[in-house]
Every structure is written in C-alpha cells, then in structure tokens.
C-alpha cells in the first residue's frame, strides 16, 4: 500500500487558459501604465505626466479601469474560452477580489450572458466554505457581463493530479469536494462540469481548503435549461453516461464526475483514456473502469460505486460520499500543504488622500517657481484642483454611506443564507440517511423476493413428487416421505420470506414517507432562500446603481485632477531647483 503521508506537490502558478494575442483582430489599442501611480495612458505617451516615471506597456486595455464604481482592475489572472479573469480591488473598502468578464465577442449571445448570470446566482445562494463566494454581478460600460468573486490564492486540482497523490490528500480533498457538492445539491443546484480545473485548492489556517468554482453550466431545478436538444455541454472525460443520453441531468452525474476525480487523484491517471470525444463517450457508456489498486478497499469500493453506469446504483447523495470518505480519514496524519501567497500588487494610488497631500506641495512649487506670482492659468488650474478634491471628498462620503448600506444588507442576507443553509444541511443529512435506509430495504426486499421465488419452486417441485399419493390407492414410499419433508421445509421458508417481505415493505413505506416529508421541508427552505435572494437583488439594485453613478463621476474628477496636475507640472519639471518638490509629489 502506498505510504499515507507524503509532501504535496505544489507546482508554480500558471494562468488559466491561453493568453490572447495582443495583435489579434479586435484587440484595442496598446495601453501603458505608470508603475508609480498606476495611471493609464494610450499610445503616444512615454512618461507619466504627474510623476515623470517611464510608462510600462500592459497586455490588456481594461487594466486600471473601474467597474461598478468600485472594482479597479489590476492584472489579468487568466483567460478561458468564455471569459477573462482579473485581479481587482474594491476601492472603497480596499478589499482584493477577482472579476470575471465575458469576452466581448460572446457578450451578444443571450445564452452565454444567462450562463454567467446563473453562475453568480447559483454560487451566491450556496454560501458554503467549499464553494467560491460571489460578491457582485453587473455589466461593463460596453455591455459585457461580469461577476465579482473572492480572490483565490492557490492552485487548481489540475496542477496536482499528474501522478498519484498521497492517500490522506485524496481523502481530505475528496471529502471537501463532496461537502461542497452536497450543499449545492441540497439547494437543487447541479454543477454539471466538475473537473480538476474547477476545483481550486487554497491555504487556510486549518490546512488545504477546497473551493469549487465555475458554476456557469450549473442547472438549478427552478430555472430553464440553456442547452439545445442533443447538445452536449461539459467535459467528456468527466461526464456521466446518462449525460450522453438525456438532457435531464441529476445530482448523480456530479457524483460520477467526483468518482473520476478521486480515481485520477489516487492513480495519477483517468480510468478511461482516449484521444477523442467519441472514445470517451463509448468508454463511459460501455466500459467497466479498472479497480483502483494500492489503496484501502473502502476507497476502491467507493470509487467503483460512484462510477456505476446506472445513476440509481451510485451512492444516494454527496452526503453519503462525504461520510464514507470521512471514515477513511479518521486517525490518518494529514499532509502539510504550503502554498506561496501571490505577490500583493501596490494599491492604485490615484486616491483622494494622496491628492490632498499633494496640494500643499503644488502650492509651494508655484511659489518657488514664480516668486512674483504664478501665471493666472496655473493658479486657475490649482484652484480647480482644490475644488475638484472637495467635490471628490463629498462623493466619497456619499459612496461610503451607500457602501455601508449595501454591506449591511449583504451581511443580513449572508446571515440568512447561513441560517437557512444550516437548516437545509441538518434536514438533508437526515434525508440522506432515510434515502440510504430506503435503498438498503429495497435491496434486501429484492433479495427476499428472489429467495421466496426459489422456495416456491422448491415447494412446487416437492409437491409434484407427491402427486401420485392423490390418486386412488396411492401409498407413500421413502421418496414421498422425503418429498413431503422438503415440501414442508420449502413451505415454511416461503412463509418466512413472505412475512419478512411484508414487514420490510411496511418499513420501506415508513422510510419513503419520512423521505417525502424531509424532501418537502427541504424544498420549502429552498423556496424561502430563493425569496431571500430575489429580495436582496431588488433592494441592492438601488445601492449598486448609486455606487456606479458615483464611481463614474469620481473617476472623471480623478482624471480631471490628473490632467490639471500635468498642466501645472509640465513647464516646471525640467528645472533642477524644483526636483526635491517633484520627489515629494511622487512620494505623497
């Protein structure tokens, strides 16, 4: 058996997806940024007009822009087929976050726009430690939908599955994946695209923490489907057999994908291998996966159960999977996982506080440069800077108040989500136990039915041997005596089986009644949570709108201040006696 404790491999980070060619058709003009103050410039400028630093070219024209009046885009984290993900910062509360923006060429597709909206709603409603947290959703000024989520600092599971992982790592991460799926399924959300790229592993105080991401293909039972009939949406190596037969996808499909993940984590390879989609389809539909070797029987059995071809033969739900994995984890030493924290970028420095500190320096700059009085135009520029800063201060206070209102509403909604989520979890665990009990009873009844049928055949066979005794003058011989004994034994066994079937049928009805009752309660909580989400969206919309409008005006004022500062600085920057003042401006 493989040793249970081994160092976890943490490869260097790589951007998700492929980088877009900067010269590709449709890409905007090259953007340059000041490395000191983070102001952005387009082609034609070589130095920052404020602090004189040489500009650096950035790969994406969105860098430095502000979305929703609050989210400043700082760098590209990764790019996929549907969207680009940026590292960003909430400029009112100084909180790092990630912003996912749908590609412009896809933004006109109503289906894809709805898919991103669904990802925001699905993940936000789940509210679970093992599911990425969604903060906000909106549209860029040019109409591309975006969502704002927690910034995950770690690696995807894809980076860890190139070779067999240590057993404790497989069990620990697998338990967390199952827990995240359990909460999603409890709320009626099926992920539909569970794969290593959509499982992120980050470092927490308690150790490795799994975050399920990309619910863009998720299907909630309350919502209409987005795929056309016959269209396959997902990743073939991880898709359950029924995904290729019907559009009616259930939580069991996610469990099958989890089985593939556990197999790949434990073995370092997929259970099925193919170089084309058709090969994977046939393998999922027809081939029996090889049994995992070199792992405890409990893990091999669980993976085999998860990879059953028929959904009803898999574990009843993700709660049961998490419980079985937890039993394997008990008493095992955990592997330490160290993930290097991504370098924190400097804050965007075009802020109110920075410019308030610069004004006295600009005043001194004009006094030194023009002892007899500065030109009227420069004095007017400086006066306008003061007025703009006063207006900017007022706008920021208004924005902070709107942000506080929104945060209070968010905190109340999060608390309600957590309370309802906990209630759903408690009921769902009981529901899982009821389902498992009902399944065990149904399986045992099937065995009893088979046994009863065998006893009936035995009785009829023995009874047929006694047929001649019913004829006139028939007398029993040794064979008839043995046949009578066999008939009696078969009849008693048949009777016992019938009694057992009746007793278990009653227990099964009781279990099914309890399952229906628990399902009703869970569904009621789901609907209540849906109402909470709808009410939050409605109430938050006004605050978001005010913040967005406020942010647009603040951004215009900031750019105006920069322009005014450049006009004041330009004629004076090359004077050596003023160098110390410009150094103070840059350091402010």
Provide the token pair at 445: 């009844």
Q: Is the pLDDT of residue 24 over 70?
A: no
Per-residue model confidence as pLDDT tens digits over 242-259:
988 876 788 999 999 999
Q: Is the pLDDT of residue 526 over 50?
A: yes
Query: Confidence class of residue 467 from pLDDT cuts 50, 70 and 90?
Result: confident
Return the domain boundaries, the chain: 27-149, 155-329, 352-467+477-587
Q: Output the pLDDT for position 8.
A: 40
Domains 27-149 and 155-329 share a fold: no
Q: What are the backbone angles phi and psi of residue 373, rounded to the nearest 5°?
A: 115, 130
The predicted model scores a pTM of 0.78
Query: Confidence class of residue 15 from pLDDT cuts 50, 70 and 90?
Result: very low
Average pLDDT, the chain: 83
Q: Is the pLDDT of residue 219 over 60?
A: no
Q: Output the pLDDT for position 308.
A: 95
- Helices (H) then strands (E): counts for the chain: 10, 15
Percentage above 70 pLDDT, the chain: 84
Q: How far apart are the first and last CA of the chain?
A: 62
| Cα 381 to chain centroid, rounded | 49
Q: Output the pLDDT for position 75.
A: 87
Q: Is the pLDDT of residue 478 over 90?
A: no
Q: In what order do the strands lie in the sheet with 199-204?
A: 154-156, 199-204, 207-212
Alpha helices in 466-477 (DSSP H): none
Q: Which of 51, 168, 186, 193 is catalytic?
A: 193
**Beta partners for residue 212, in sequence order:** 131, 199
Q: Output the pLDDT for position 20.
A: 36
Q: Is the pLDDT of residue 209 over 80?
A: yes
Ramachandran sector of residue 52 (left: φ over 0; alpha: ψ -120 to 50; beta: rest): left
The angle formed by the CA atoms of residues 401, 404 and 408, to the nearest 5 degrees, is 145
Tell me which CATH code domain 27-149 carries.
3.30.200.20
CA distance 173 to 208: 8
Q: Output the pLDDT for position 376.
A: 94
Tell me which CATH code domain 155-329 carries.
1.10.510.10
Q: Output the pLDDT for position 9.
A: 39
CA distance 7 to 80: 30
Query: Confidence class of residue 558 from pLDDT cuts 50, 70 and 90?
Result: confident
Query: Confidence class of residue 555 from pLDDT cuts 50, 70 and 90?
Result: confident
Q: Output the pLDDT for position 242.
A: 92
Per-residue model confidence as pLDDT tens digits over 410-462:
999 989 988 999 999 999 999 999 999 888 888 888 888 888 899 889 888 88
Name the most confidently modeled range: 23-27, 210-214, 222-226: 210-214
The whole-number average pLDDT for the span 475-494 is 85
More confident: 1 or 136: 136
Q: Output the pLDDT for position 329.
A: 79
Q: Output the pLDDT for position 482.
A: 86
> Nearest 10 degrees: CA dihedral of 71, 77, 80, 84?
20
Lowest mean pLDDT across 12-21, 270-279, 299-308, 450-459? 12-21
Name which of 225, 166, 161 is nearest 198 in CA terms: 161
Q: Output the pLDDT for position 331.
A: 58
- Residue 362: Cβ within 10 Å count: 23
Tell me which CATH code domain 352-467+477-587 carries.
1.20.1270
Q: Is the pLDDT of residue 476 over 90?
A: no
Q: Output the pLDDT for position 392.
A: 92
The whole-number average pLDDT for the span 171-187 is 95
Query: Confidence class of residue 36 from pLDDT cuts 50, 70 and 90?
Result: low
Q: Output the pLDDT for position 586.
A: 76
CA distance 359 to 385: 8
Q: Output the pLDDT for position 150.
A: 92
| Cβ-count burial 279-314 (b if 16+ within 10 Å, e if not) | ebbebbeeeebeebeebeeebbebbbbbbbeebeeb
Per-residue model confidence as pLDDT tens digits over 106-146:
888 887 777 777 777 777 888 899 999 988 988 898 889 89
Q: What are the backbone angles phi and psi of residue 101, rounded to the nearest 5°?
A: -115, 130
Active site residue 193: yes
The whole-number average pLDDT for the span 351-375 is 89
Residues 6+ apart with CB under 8 A from 361: 581, 584, 585, 588
Percentage above 90 pLDDT, the chain: 42
The full DSSP string for 92-132 is TTTEEEEEEEE-GGGTT-HHHHHHHHHHHHHHHHH--TTBP
Lowest mean pLDDT across 18-27, 82-91, 482-491? 18-27
Length of the chain: 588
Query: Confidence class of residue 50 from pLDDT cuts 50, 70 and 90?
Result: low
CA distance 183 to 424: 8
The whole-number average pLDDT for the span 524-536 is 90
Residues 6+ apart with CB under 8 A from 381: 564, 567, 568
């Amino acid at each position: 058996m493989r040793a249970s404790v081994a160092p976890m491999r943490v490869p260097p980070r790589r951007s998700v997806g492929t980088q877009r060619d900067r010269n590709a058709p449709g890409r905007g003009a090259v953007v340059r940024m000041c490395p000191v103050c983070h102001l952005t410039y387009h082609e034609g400028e070589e130095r920052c007009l404020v602090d004189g630093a040489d500009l650096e070219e950035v790969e994406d024209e969105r860098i430095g822009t502000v979305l929703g009046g609050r989210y400043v885009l700082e760098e590209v984290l990764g790019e996929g087929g549907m969207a680009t993900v940026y590292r960003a910062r909430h400029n009112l509360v100084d909180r790092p976050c990630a912003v996912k923006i749908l590609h412009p060429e896809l933004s006109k597709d109503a289906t894809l726009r709805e898919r991103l909206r669904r990802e925001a709603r699905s993940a936000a409603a789940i509210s679970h430690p093992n599911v990425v947290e969604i903060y906000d959703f909106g549209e860029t000024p040019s109409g591309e939908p975006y969502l704002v989520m927690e910034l995950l600092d770690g690696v995807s599971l894809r980076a860890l599955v190139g070779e067999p992982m240590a057993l404790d790592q497989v069990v620990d991460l697998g338990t967390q994946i199952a827990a995240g799926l359990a909460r999603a399924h409890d709320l009626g959300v099926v992920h539909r695209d569970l794969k290593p790229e959509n499982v992120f592993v980050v470092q927490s105080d308690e150790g490795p923490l799994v975050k399920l991401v990309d619910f863009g293909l998720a299907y909630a039972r309350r919502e209409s489907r987005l795929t056309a009939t016959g269209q396959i949406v997902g990743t073939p190596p991880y898709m359950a057999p029924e995904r290729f037969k019907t559009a009616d996808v259930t939580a069991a499909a996610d469990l099958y994908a989890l089985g593939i993940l556990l197999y790949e984590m434990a073995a370092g390879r997929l259970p099925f291998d193919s170089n084309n989609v058709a090969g994977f389809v046939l393998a999922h539909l027809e081939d029996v996966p090889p049994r995992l070797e070199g792992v405890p029987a409990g893990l091999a059995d669980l993976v085999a159960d998860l990879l059953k071809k028929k959904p009803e033969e898999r574990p009843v739900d993700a709660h049961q999977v998490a419980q079985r994995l937890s039993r394997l984890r008990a008493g095992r030493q955990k592997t330490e996982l160290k993930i290097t924290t991504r370098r924190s970028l400097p804050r965007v420095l075009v802020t109110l506080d920075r410019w308030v500190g610069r004004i006295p320096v600009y005043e001194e700059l004009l006094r030194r440069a023009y002892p007899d009085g500065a030109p009227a135009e420069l004095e007017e520029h400086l006066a306008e800077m003061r007025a703009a800063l006063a207006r900017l201060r007022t706008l920021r206070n208004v924005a902070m108040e709107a942000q506080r209102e929104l945060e209070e509403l968010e905190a109340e909604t999060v608390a309600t989500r957590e309370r309802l989520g906990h209630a759903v979890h408690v009921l769902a665990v009981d529901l899982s136990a009821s389902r498992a009990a009902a399944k065990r009873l149904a399986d045992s009844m099937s065995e009893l039915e088979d046994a009863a049928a065998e006893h009936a055949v035995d009785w009829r066979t023995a009874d047929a041997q006694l047929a001649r005794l019913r004829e006139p003058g028939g007398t029993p011989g040794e064979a008839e005596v043995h046949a009578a004994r066999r008939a009696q034994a078969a009849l008693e066994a048949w009777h016992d089986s019938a009694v057992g079937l009746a007793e278990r049928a009653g227990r099964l009805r009781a279990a099914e009644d309890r399952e229906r009752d628990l399902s009703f309660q869970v569904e009621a909580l789901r609907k209540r949570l849906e109402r909470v989400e709808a009410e939050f969206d409605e109430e938050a919309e006004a605050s978001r709108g005010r913040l967005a409008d406020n942010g647009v005006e603040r951004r215009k004022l900031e750019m105006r201040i920069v322009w005014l500062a450049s006009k004041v600085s330009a004629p004076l920057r090359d004077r050596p006696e003023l160098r110390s003042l410009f150094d103070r401006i840059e350091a402010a």
